[in-house]
Amino acid sequence: MKVLLATRNVKKLDELRRILASSPELLKVELVGLDDVPEYAEVPETGLTFAENALLKAREGAKHTGLPTVADDSGLAVDALNGMPGVFSARWSGRHGDDRANLELVLAQIGDVPDEHRGAAFVCAAALVLPGGAGPANGREHLVSGKMGGRVLRAARGEGGFGYDPIFVAEGQTRTNAELSAAEKDAISHRGKAFRALAAVIAKTL
């Protein structure tokens, strides 16, 4: 059984593959990415919530490929920025996917914020859409979410992870997400929580 993860982000693919591999009932699921299927015009992320964007991408993938499709939208919500960058996390600096520029802009924007007010959370919404229909009422769309609370540091630390990981320390941790091993991060991350919930849905649905 092939399942499409509607992303070209290799690290996201690796992350979901690790989570699927930890579920015995999902060992026969082959996860492929957008680079593994015929190219189609990807829908712009026009939703105002993580859930809306995840469903948009999953619906398009299922429609164009005929495969059960998983998609996620996730980002960093900073308390001092009223929950931003939020859904704009990947393009906060104006250039989509420029992790370093995005990270540095957030640091600059909250540079004068005291440590006790630098709370933040990573949020993830993940969707599974089955081909042949749309709408949650017919059981062909499923949506889950995950959240990881923590705080934003004043400077980046660590070489692992991606995105805002080098400036984020999760609750109960002393190391940034970029200093954790892949397994340590998966165990507590917003995406890990959402993908594990979605893995249970995949096992039940497929």
> Is the pLDDT reported for residue 145 higher than 80?
yes
pLDDT, mean of residues 8-28: 81
For 25, the token pair is 């009932």
> Is the pLDDT reported for residue 206 higher than 90?
no
The position carrying tokens 């017919």 is 138
| Amino acid of residue 87 | V
Evaluate whether 43 touches 57 at the Cβ level (below 8 Å).
yes
Evaluate whether 11 touches 182 at the Cβ level (below 8 Å).
no
Evaluate whether 72 touches 33 at the Cβ level (below 8 Å).
no
Evaluate whether 142 touches 112 at the Cβ level (below 8 Å).
no
The pLDDT tens digits of the residues spanning 48-96 come to 999 999 999 999 999 999 999 999 999 999 999 999 999 999 999 998 8
Structural domains of the chain in order of their starting residue, each with its CATH number: 2-205 (3.90.950.10)
Residue 128, SS3? strand
**pLDDT for the residue 1:** 85
* C-alpha span between 87 and 140 (Å, rounded): 25
**pLDDT for the residue 152:** 98
* C-alpha span between 198 and 116 (Å, rounded): 34
The pLDDT tens digits of the residues spanning 23-51 come to 777 778 889 999 999 999 988 889 999 99
Kindly state the DSSP code that residue 89 receives in the 8-state scheme.
G
**pLDDT for the residue 27:** 74
pLDDT, mean of residues 171-183: 96
> Is the pLDDT reported for residue 100 higher than 90?
yes
> Is the pLDDT reported for residue 194 higher than 70?
yes
Q: In DSSP terms, which residues pair with 148 in a beta bridge?
A: 122
E strand segments, 38-104: 69-78, 84-85
**pLDDT for the residue 137:** 45
The pLDDT tens digits of the residues spanning 115-140 come to 999 999 999 999 999 997 555 546 68
Residue 169, SS3? strand
The pLDDT tens digits of the residues spanning 147-156 come to 999 999 999 9
**For residue 83, which of 110, 56, 104, 101 has the smallest C-alpha distance?**
110
Looking at the annotation, which residues are catalytic?
A: 73
